[in-house]
Amino acid sequence: MNKSRAPFSRLAVCVQSDDADLLTPRMIYQILPDESAAKSDYVRVIDNEGEDYLYPAKYFIFIDLPNDVQRALIETPPPHLGR
């Protein structure tokens, strides 16, 4: 079975940031599962540079969207990444 990151990802809205170049408040981000990070109140986020990195969980509010909307947001790269 081929596992892709998308079905296991969640989405969250950034509500706080210490570095606007990496995280933009009010922007939606893909959150990757990371049990170890969660134990320390961190989440693994695909940031503005397209890299996954750990950020404090308090910077985000998790959101639930219809499956087709969530899939479209996860599968479509942000325009600033030029993929």
What local confidence, expressed as pLDDT, does residue 37 receive? 96
What local confidence, expressed as pLDDT, does residue 82 receive? 53
- Strand-pairing partners, residue 53, are 45
What local confidence, expressed as pLDDT, does residue 70 receive? 85
* Cβ–Cβ under 8 Å, residues 37 and 54: yes
Distance CA 56, CA 40 (A): 9
Can you name the CATH fold of 6-76? SH3 type barrels. (2.30.30)
Residues of the chain predicted below pLDDT 70: 1-8, 77-83
Please report the DSSP string for 7-63 in residue order.
Answer: GG-EEEEE---S-TTT--TT-EEEEE--HHHHHTTEEEEE-TTS-EEEEEGGGEEEE
What local confidence, expressed as pLDDT, does residue 75 receive? 83
- Residue 65, classed as helix, strand or coil, is coil
The pTM is what? 0.78
